[in-house]
Amino acid sequence: MRIKEFYHPATFTLTYVVFDENTRDAVVIDPVLDYNPLGSQTSTESVELVAAFIEAEKLKLHYTLETHAHADHLSASQYLKHRFGAKIGIGVHITDVQKVFKDLLDLPADFSTEGTQFDKLLADNEVLRAGSLELKVLPTPGHTPACVSYLMNDAVFTGDALFIEDYGTGRCDFPKGSADALYTSVHETLYNLPDATRVFVGHDYQPNGRALRAETTIGASKRRNIQLKAETNRDEFVKMRTERDAKLEAPRLLFQSVQVNVDAGRLPGVHKNGRRYLNMPLNLFKPTDEVGSITRK
């Protein structure tokens, strides 16, 4: 099994192509659709690099797999589906996220919250086969209630649950996020994997300007993760994570990303005037009165 990573600097996101060198069977994990909020313009430049690699290696792409409904970038899963016929898979608890954001973003009345937009809803601990490849779906909620990690041979793809040890873990302040759940996901699920298991992270923010890293190990994480080591107790982590998250700004592309990603990467439909529109709530986190003053209760 080979793993090829692609880095998206604008969102610090890592996309992975995982493939069997003999059979050429492949999956893609967490692809990115370029989006410039200045002018609200999408493009496919980044995912085209992924597609070019797939074609150059003569791979058969079976699935595009999402670790969760990302809040910092738009998914390019639909591009890969249209180009290669790859099915789109995500954890079954995406329905919880859909229910929350259908209301928050005032999505259309006919927007399904049953996950029907995705080709495959992956159950906790399900084993998925993609040709000769086999992966296990590990439930790792906390960052969102629908987060999963993908275990393939000696490699685990952790999305936003666990990062490189000098950065820590994912934030837990999104709707239905939970620092307590993330502790369980990392400490009781991921840290129970063999120490030699390779960890491929969903983002690398390159703290202190260090070089890009996509990979660590479970053993290194247990020994050196700055937020959650093997000996870190639950109360200590939950307090740290909760206090830290309370000081963070919302992700720059939160509203744009989530409404696309809960719809399996589909862009909003065309209106009668021939244009597409994203819903952007105003003053959601700090409500105001009609003149824009923050209301204090």
Percent helix / strand / coil, the chain, rounded to 5: 25, 25, 50
Q: For the chain, how far is it from start to end, CA to CA, in angstroms?
A: 56
CA distance to 12, 35, 179, 184, 219, per residue, from 192 (Å) = 27, 37, 19, 11, 10
pTM of full prediction above 0.85: yes
How many CA atoms does the CB half-sphere of 290 hold within 13 Å?
Answer: 0
Q: Is residue 274 part of a domain?
A: no
Q: Is residue 86 part of a domain?
A: yes
Instruction: Give pLDDT, residue 285.
Output: 87
For residues 218 and 192, give the distance between their C-alpha atoms in angstroms, rounded to a whole number. 9
Residue 123 in any domain: the answer is yes
Whichever domain contains 140, its CATH number is 3.60.15.10
C-alpha Rg value of the chain to the nearest Å: 19
In a domain, 254, yes or no: yes
The rounded distance, in Å, linking the Cα atoms of 268 and 148 is 25
- What pLDDT was estimated at residue 297? 58
CB 169 within 8 A of CB 227: yes
**How many structural domains is the chain composed of?**
1
pLDDT score, position 284: 87
Q: Each residue's pLDDT tens digit in the chain (297 positions)?
A: 999 999 999 999 999 999 999 999 999 999 999 999 999 999 999 999 999 999 999 999 999 999 999 999 999 999 999 999 999 999 999 999 999 999 999 999 999 999 999 999 999 999 999 999 999 999 999 999 999 999 999 999 999 999 999 999 999 999 899 999 999 999 999 999 999 999 999 999 999 999 999 999 999 999 999 999 999 999 999 999 999 999 999 998 999 999 999 999 999 999 999 999 999 899 988 899 999 999 875
Residue 213 in domain: yes
Range of the domain at 167: 2-261
pLDDT score of 296: 72
Following DSSP, what letter does each residue of 91-135 receive, concatenated?
ETTHHHHHHHHHHHTT--TT--SSSTTSSEEEPTT-EEEETTEEE
Helices (H) and strands (E) in the chain, counts: 7, 15
Angle between helices 94-104 and 254-261 (to 10 degrees): 130
Is 89 part of a structural domain of the chain? Answer: yes
Residue 57's Cβ-count burial label (10 Å; 0-12, 13-18, 19+) is middle
pLDDT at 214: 98
Examine residue 269 and state whether it is found in any structural domain, yes or no.
Answer: no
The Cα–Cα gap between 7 and 201 comes to 11
Burial string for 59-84 (b: 16+ CB within 10 Å, else e) reads bbbbbbbbbbbbbbbbbbbbbbbebb
Cβ-in-10-Å burial (0-12, 13-18, 19+) of 288 comes to exposed
Report yes or no on 282 lying in a domain.
no
